[in-house]
Structure 1
Amino acid sequence: MANDLDDNRTHEAAPGDPAPLDLTADVVSLTAALCDIESVSRDEQRVCDAIESALEPLEHLTVTRIGNTLVARTELGRDERVVLAGHIDTVPLTVDPPNLPTHREGDDLWGRGTVDMKGGVAVQLKAALVAEPSRDLTFVFYEGEEIDSEYNGLLHIQQQRPDLIEDADFAVLLEPTGSIVEGGCKGTLRAEVVTKGIAAHSARPWNGHNAIHDAAEVLARLAEYQPETVVVDGLEYREAMNAVGITGGIAGNVIPDRCVVTVNYRYAPDKSEDDAAALVDQLFSGFVVTIKDNAGGARPGLDLPAAQGFVAALGVDVVAKQGWTDVARFAAMGVPAVNFGPGDPNLAHHDEERCPVPQLESAEAALLRWLA
């Protein structure tokens, strides 16, 4: 297995280094071992080192490291190549009570990362042991998903080594879905809609014009707007347009001369980023509209043979992903993607984060069945 290490990376063994990961352990024990290596965003080196060391003996994989992101590829000459991806960072730990180290309570594994998403990473690592999979595989273990986009390891691959991913036919992001398949994802746009007035003393409002009062029209248009339900590749994506913030006024005795309504538009993956921006501009015609950020969605690609084979092998329910996930980054590289992984997404980042052991086991079994 060849390593292409980031020139800026240096690591020497230290007394506090974690015990080596045992990829032959059961998936629950492996999940616990991964979670017990703390890896809050921007502190992923130790867990990345541990994963890299565990992959090193696997001769059927070639590993490339970019910062604290790993890409491991088979080169078996199969007709199809699939990406299995998961992020290795977590949100910060709780303190009272602490949610690490992990512990078992009945059929649940408790602890930070069990849901989001080291359970999925453990399933990836179990799949990495398959020396003769039915298709070529690209495993991606990446940093910085839980924080600003500039730190995201998938973005770094896209910028520095897109060739490591762009030849794939299909991708599976092992984010928590309760072990069902969630296809693609919706896009998300955030805009500021500004109303302008004239400042004056609030005792003499006739000398000014109240910008907050004008925001009533913005809110009325939002209330009247009927979001679409759009079918893409057989899945229903429910669009949403909502006010998520409002600011205005500078003092309790001043008529406000400016009010900003922040609007979030979640749009189906049949629309481009430009389509979404144009719709928002049209809806709020007559007001100053500024698009603050806009991330396109991802089509599920369920019409493709690779996706159909994946769904058929798993034999689980398939629904549309109603949020935004990193499958959109794969879409930007021309690779259709779905979400599939163990854990209830409602418990991601939760103080009581925990993953059912049967979901870890069933996700592993389903993925190995597909690779057989």
Structure 2
Amino acid sequence: MSQEPPALDPALGPVSLTRQLCDIASVSGDERAIADAVEAVLLERAPHLSVVRDGDTLIARTELGRERRVAIAGHLDTVPINANLPVRDELDAETGEAVIRGRGTVDMKAGVAVQLALAIELVEPAVDLTWIWYDHEEVSSDLNGLGRAQRNRPELFAADFAILGEPSNGTIEGGCNGTLRARVGVHGKRAHSARSWKGVNAIHRAGALLQRLAAYEAETVEVDGLAYREGLNAVRVGGGIAGNVIPDRCDVEVNYRFAPSKSAEEAVAFVREFFSDADEVEIVDLAPGARPGLDAPLAQRFVRAVGQTPVAKFGWTDVSRFSALGVPAVNFGPGDPQLAHADDERVPVAQIESSYAALRAWLSGDL
């Protein structure tokens, strides 16, 4: 017997809706209940939207014949809960502002709440809208619901501009850095540690690579007026098989964050050249960045609606998936991205309200 989805009431506004959404546990892989709840409220209260479901991803679209279309997306899943649900209302000890504290408040159910409230409210927006709520963002990219739905139903994702509701402190973060992970292997020769001169210690050989990484100074690269900070870092080291054996292999896992002015191929070439003296360089994960997406008139009017100077997004986000489709995209949502995944995750109520107001004004054409 199927269970009724939890009831959502967008009429209470995005702040109350944030609490409701957060209290539906939706750790990656367990998004069915929240997807059911969002689908139920769309079908009940948004007859102006056509709704398509792909797994636990929902795509809701207006079909008003407007000249331009905007896609607005947010993910439904969170990282694991750690005694931080249900949410609670507090005054922040440092700022004194009203906050909602708990898992998902920042990453990113406050953004999802803003989107869902507006999706139901805006029956006659100034542009056609594609609203997207998707699963499996916090895990391996091959499981990502946005990517899956784009592959399955590409026709639903055509747009002139896109917004991802990732936390950005209520300002616009343009584009995103690309990310690459590589396994850099160094070989040696096994020997008994009592006769170490008979072998070649791969861990010792890897020391030169680690010293080079430690000395590397990351660049700041300006792209379309925004400054993107790059980074090249060892994130994991492994080697050795026993306490009395000289290791014949050492692997250093490296993460390279590169500015969106570089292509994925250029990033790979840089890493291979940087570690040209290694025995192996295997690229194990690669995702291109996205340029700021602020050149289009739609984006410029959005900047005016928000009223703050855009900044660069250092981390990788799913704006890259829109950029790969030729759709300029930005990040915009309530919450401090530095609190994402933290056990004391909390979002200021004022940021939820201001993000909602700016997005509503822009989409309504009240500028």
Q: Tell me if both proteins adopt one fold, taking TM over 0.5 as the criterion.
A: yes
Q: Which residue number corresponds to residue 72 of structure 1?
A: 60
In the TM superposition, what is the alpha-carbon distance from 1:266 to its structure 2 partner?
0.4
Residues in 1 aligned to 2:127 and 2:223: alpha-carbon distance in whole angstroms: 26
What is the aligned counterpart of 2:351 among 343, 359, 364?
Answer: 359
SS at match of 1:116: helix
RMSD: 1.4
Q: Which moved more, 1:242-251 or 1:276-285?
A: 242-251
Q: Which residue number corresponds to residue 90 of structure 2?
A: 105
Q: Deviations over 1:118-168 (max 9, x none)?
A: 100110012111111111111001011112223211011121001111x20
Residues in 2 aligned to 1:191 and 1:151: alpha-carbon distance in whole angstroms: 20
Residues in 1 aligned to 2:244 and 2:80: alpha-carbon distance in whole angstroms: 42
Q: Which residue number corresponds to residue 16 of structure 2?
A: 29
Residues in 1 aligned to 2:215 and 2:344: alpha-carbon distance in whole angstroms: 38
Q: Which residue number corresponds to residue 6 of structure 1?
A: none
Residues in 1 aligned to 2:197 and 2:81: alpha-carbon distance in whole angstroms: 54
TM-score by length of 2: 0.93
SS at match of 2:12: coil
The runs of 5 or more residues in structure 1 that have no matched partner are 1-10
Alignment of 1:1-372 (within 5 A): 12-14=2-4, 17-18=5-6, 20-56=7-43, 57-94=45-82, 98-106=83-91, 107-128=98-119, 129-165=121-157, 167-287=158-278, 288-372=280-364
In the TM superposition, what is the alpha-carbon distance from 1:227 to its structure 2 partner?
2.8
Residues in 1 aligned to 2:341 and 2:275: alpha-carbon distance in whole angstroms: 35
Q: Which residue number corresponds to residue 4 of structure 1?
A: none
SS at match of 2:189: coil
The runs of 5 or more residues in structure 2 that have no matched partner are 92-97
In the TM superposition, what is the alpha-carbon distance from 1:13 to its structure 2 partner?
4.1
Residues in 2 aligned to 1:273 and 1:80: alpha-carbon distance in whole angstroms: 30
Residues in 2 aligned to 1:112 and 1:208: alpha-carbon distance in whole angstroms: 51
Percent of pairs identical after alignment?
59
Q: Which residue number corresponds to residue 8 of structure 1?
A: none
Residues 1:259 and 1:13: Cα distance change in structure 2 (over 3 Å): closer
In the TM superposition, what is the alpha-carbon distance from 1:203 to its structure 2 partner?
1.9
In the TM superposition, what is the alpha-carbon distance from 1:228 to its structure 2 partner?
2.3
Q: Deviations over 1:311-331 (max 9, x none)?
A: 111112311001111111112
In the TM superposition, what is the alpha-carbon distance from 1:351 to its structure 2 partner?
1.7
Residues in 2 aligned to 1:142 and 1:320: alpha-carbon distance in whole angstroms: 24
More helix by share: 2
SS at match of 1:147: coil
Letter in 2 for 1:158: Q
Letter in 1 for 2:231: A
Residues 1:40 and 1:133: Cα distance change in structure 2 (over 3 Å): same
Count of matched residue positions in the alignment of Structure 1 and Structure 2: 355
Instruction: Give structure 1 regions of 4+ aligned residues with deviation exceeding 4 angstroms.
Output: none
Residues in 2 aligned to 1:314 and 1:329: alpha-carbon distance in whole angstroms: 24
